[in-house]
Amino acid sequence: MKAASSIFTALSAAVFGFFIGISFPVEITPKLQYCAFLPCDGTNTNSSSSSDSNNNMLNFWAPSVRNSTSAPSNATISGNGTTTAAAAVAKKPQGAERLPPGIVVRDSDLHLHRLWGHPTSDVASGKQYLVTLTVGYTEKDNINATVHKLSDKFDIVLFHYDGRTTEWEEFEWSKKVVHVSAKKQTKWWFAKRFMHPSIVAPYEYIFLWDEDLGVDNFSAEEYISIARKHGLGISQPGLDATKGKRSRYTATARRPAGDMHTSGRFVEVMAPVFSRDAWACVWHMIPNDLVHGWGLDHNFWRCVDEPEEHIGVVDAQFVVHRGVPTLISQGNGEQEGSSAKVRSRQFDEMRTFYRRIADAEKAQADATAAAADHHR
C-alpha cells in the first residue's frame, strides 16, 4: 500500500512539474538573425524613412564592425519575452569566437586618455565631432588657422606625411591632439588603417580634410548645424569660385543664395564631412591595397539613403581650395619625373577601382537573378 502511495505521489509531482514548465515557453533559437543590412525574419524591407534605414545599418555594424565581444546595448524584448541580443552576440568576427561577450566596451575613440585616475572618468570627454587633417609642416600656419575654427567639441588627429611631428609643439593645441606619422602616405591610407568605424563611432560627424583649405569664411559649429538641419549624410563646404584653384566640378562651387544645395550625389575628396552612419559604409569601400582614393568621390552615394537629398554642399560656410601640391611632388624623390609617376599611379588605381566596382555589381546582379530563377 505504501509502495502504491509513493508511485502515485511521484507521478503527481511529474505531472505538476510538466504543467508548470509549459506555462513558461522557452525559445531555443532566437528568431532574429542579421543578414546584411536587414533582418532575415521576413520583415518589410521598404524603409519609410532614412532613419529606419540608418537603424538597420547600425544593427548590421554592431555585431561585426564594432567590437563583437561587448555586451550589446540595444537588446530588445520580443513578443514572447525573449531578447534578441543573442543574435547580435552570435555574430562574431574571425578570431573572437572563443571570447564571451562583455569583456570590453563596444566603441573606442581618438581622445587622449590619462594614465592615472579611474578609467570611467576619462570617457566623458565631451567630444562630439572628429576632424582629421593630413599635413606637412610647411602648411603649419594654414592648419593652425583651421584648428582655431573648431570648437572644443572636436577631437583632432593630424596625419603627418612628412615625418615631422615634434615641430608642431610650437602650437599649444598640438600638445592635446593625436599625431600619427608615416612618410609619403595619403589620407586614405591613414583613414583605412586608423579610422575603423568602431574607433570613430562616438563622433556624430567626421571631417576628413586636406591641409590646403582657406577657412576665413568657415565656422565648424555653424556648418554642422546646417548639415544636421538638412539631414546631410555626406557633405562638403562650398568652394569659393573667385579664389584658389578652380574645381572642374560646378556642383561643388559655392552658390551665394541659401544655406546649402544638393550636388547630384557627389562631393569632392579634399574636404568631405561624413555622418557616423555614412562613414561606417565609406570606410569599407576604401580599398585595402590602393592608397590614392581616386574614384571614391563618384561612389560616395552608395553609402547614403536617398543620395539626391542627403548629399550636398553647404554654401553658407565655404572654403578656398588653395591647391597646394603635397604628395604629388614627393614621388620616389631621387629620380626624374617622380610627380608624373605619382599621377600615373593615381589613374591606374582609379581604373582598378572602377573595374572592381563594375565586376562586383555584375556578380551581385547575376547572383540575384540566379536566386530569382531558383525560386520560380
Q: H or E segment at 140?
A: helix 140-147
| Single-letter amino acid, residue 66 | R
Q: What pairs with residue 214 in β-bridges?
A: 320
**Cα distance between residue 209 and residue 180, in whole Å:** 15
**Cα distance between residue 70 and residue 60, in whole Å:** 15
**pLDDT of 337:** 56
Q: Which three cell numbers, joined as nine digits, stand for 14?
A: 511529474
Q: Is there a contact between 236 and 313 (Cβ–Cβ < 8 Å)?
A: yes
Nearest to 209 by CA among 129, 112, 277, 152: 129
Q: 38 Cβ partners below 8 Å, 6+ apart?
A: 45, 56
Domain 121-330 has CATH 3.90.550.10: yes
Residue 255 has pLDDT above 70, yes or no: yes
Domain ranges across the chain: 16-90, 121-330
Q: 150 Cβ partners below 8 Å, 6+ apart?
A: 131, 156, 220
Task: Encode pLDDT of 294-329 as tens digits.
Answer: 999 999 999 999 999 999 999 999 999 988 776 665
Lowest mean pLDDT among 6-10, 68-72, 158-162, 259-263: 68-72
**178-181 and 154-160 strand pairing:** parallel
DSSP single-letter state for residue 113? P
Q: pLDDT tier at 330 (50, 70, 90 boundaries)?
A: low
Task: Encode pLDDT of 216-239 as tens digits.
Answer: 999 999 999 999 999 999 999 999
Lowest mean pLDDT among 147-151, 287-291, 340-344, 360-364: 340-344
Nearest to 235 by CA among 316, 312, 130: 312
> In the structure, how many helices (H) and strands (E) does the chain have?
11, 11
Rg of the chain over all Cα atoms, to the nearest angstrom: 26
| Cα-based distances in Å from 90 to 36, 63, 69, 190 | 15, 8, 10, 31
Q: Which residue is listed with cell 610647411?
A: 138
**Cα distance between residue 168 and residue 172, in whole Å:** 9
Task: Encode pLDDT of 86-133 as tens digits.
Answer: 444 456 777 888 888 878 777 888 988 889 988 877 765 678 999 999
**Cα distance between residue 363 and residue 359, in whole Å:** 6
Secondary structure class of 360 (helix, strand, coil): helix
**pLDDT of 328:** 64
Nearest to 269 by CA among 299, 225, 307, 308: 299
Backbone angles phi, psi at 193, to 5 degrees: -95, -20
183 backbone φψ class: left, alpha, beta (φ>0; ψ -120 to 50): beta
Q: pLDDT tier at 375 (50, 70, 90 boundaries)?
A: confident
**Cα distance between residue 58 and residue 73, in whole Å:** 12
333 backbone φψ class: left, alpha, beta (φ>0; ψ -120 to 50): left
DSSP single-letter state for residue 83? B
> What does the chain come to in residues?
376
**273-275 and 154-160 strand pairing:** unpaired
Q: Per-residue DSSP letters for 228-284?
A: HHTT-SEEEEEE-TTSSSPPS-GGGB--SSSSEEE-SS---SSS-EEEHHHHHHHHH
